[in-house]
Amino acid sequence: MPVDIIIDGKSYEPEAGNVKELVLELNEYFSKKQAVMKTIVLNEDVTITTIEDLLDYDDSDVEKIKLESRSYEDLCLNTLKEVLVYLDKLDEGYESIVELVENDKISDAMVILNAAIEGIEWMNNAFSKIISILKIELTSEEDNFIKNYSGHLGELVSALQNQDYISVKDIILYDLKEDVAGWKKIIEKYSREGNKIQGEKN
């Protein structure tokens, strides 16, 4: 299976004899490299989303593949930047929720709060994956902060279940808004450390 493969500007000689084997080989290559594929261009003019999309083509149709990758570390640092942007939006959302509850506009407040909860779940999952990938060891202070933060979320859920919107407002105003500042401190710290490590490698 003659195919011209360029990965991050360098020629790559595959051992695969067909498209199915090539997909397995490239996935293994990027796994060992600890990187994810950023862009994949087939035959100069077709952009595909994942390497598995090659399985839609016959062996004879795959003549040239150009791939650009992003390291796990780079991906993590980019996600940390996205989390910082989100935290600013979350803080603004909290302020809107408090104001709406104070004005007895509960349904409007719940729309924003539901969106905030989805964002919080994304942030929590992203941070868990990042500390695993980057092998981050949280300090005892950071660990305690996250436990307290989880407790505040639990109190919020309980207040929502009881339709106790005064408590919802108070938890946001006196706990969760302060937690935003705590999260920013943690995210900014590991963003700086990650950039420093990446700079040393480069």
Distance of CA 192 to the CA centre of its chain: 17
For every one of its 202 residues, what pLDDT tens digit does the chain have, with 9 covering 90 and above? 689 999 999 999 999 999 999 999 999 999 998 898 889 999 999 999 999 999 999 999 999 999 999 988 889 999 999 999 999 999 999 999 999 999 999 999 999 999 999 999 999 999 999 998 888 899 999 999 999 999 999 999 999 999 999 999 999 999 999 999 999 999 999 888 776 655 555 5
Neighbours of 87 (CB within 10 A): 19
- Look up residue 66 and give its two tokens: 């150009």
Start-to-end C-alpha separation, the chain? 35
CA distance 200 to 190: 15
**Element spanning 114, H or E:** helix 106-133
CB 180 within 8 Å of CB 91: yes
